Homo-oligomer: A and B are copies of this chain.
Amino acid sequence: MQEIVAQPLTKGAFAPFGDVIETAGAELRLINNGTTQRFHDIANIETDADGKVIASIFRGQPFELPVEIKMMERHPFGSQAFIPMHRRPWLAVVAQDENGRPGRPQAFLVKPNESGVRGVNYARNVWHHPLISLEVESDFLVIDRDGPGGNLEEYFYPEAWSVSAE
């Protein structure tokens, strides 16, 4: 199995795949008579005209490192955002498209930092691995698209990849 080491999540490294959902670098508006900072519109939430944006909670079983990556999926009709409802690390695994198939996976270790809890938004049609919680069963708020049509494409690699984190 080929080995992949997860990188720390940064806006720049993740830009080809979607958005990092975090306060750092976001447009800040002071609202509610000064009692609230609004970090405004921090993810490109997308749906097709026939679909609608919905909110769900995903409760993920924990994976153990190293994680075997056997497949990837993507959603042609909308984006999919994952926001942890906790402060534990988790793994986001994505890949560039290569002629309709995912290329070599890239893994990001997503951790809260001094700016707070962080999530990611996979852009429409970006290859990614299903949710990878770590340590314990973990809840995520998910913003994605519901509606008619087949919004799931899967690809199984001929050989699995092994993802570790430092």
- Which A residues lie at the B interface, using CB under 8 A? 21-23, 26, 31-33, 35-43, 45, 52-61, 63, 81, 83-87, 116-117, 119, 121, 130-131, 139, 141-143, 146
Taken together as a complex, chains A and B put the C-alpha atoms of A55 and B47 apart, in Å, by 14
The listed residue with most B CB atoms (<10 A of its CB), out of A26, A53, A56, is: A56
- Are A42 and B60 interface neighbours, CB within 8 A? no
Number of copies: 2
The interface residues of chain B lying within 8 Å CB-to-CB of A31 are: 58, 130
Taken together as a complex, chains A and B put the C-alpha atoms of A87 and B87 apart, in Å, by 10
Taking A84-B85, A116-B139 as contacts, is the C-beta distance between A54 and B35 under 8 angstroms? no
- Are B85 and A61 interface neighbours, CB within 8 A? no
- Are A117 and B139 interface neighbours, CB within 8 A? yes
Taking A83-B141, A139-B23 as contacts, is the C-beta distance between A56 and B41 under 8 angstroms? yes
- Are A37 and B58 interface neighbours, CB within 8 A? yes
Q: How far is the CB of A15 from chain B (nearest CB, A)?
A: 17
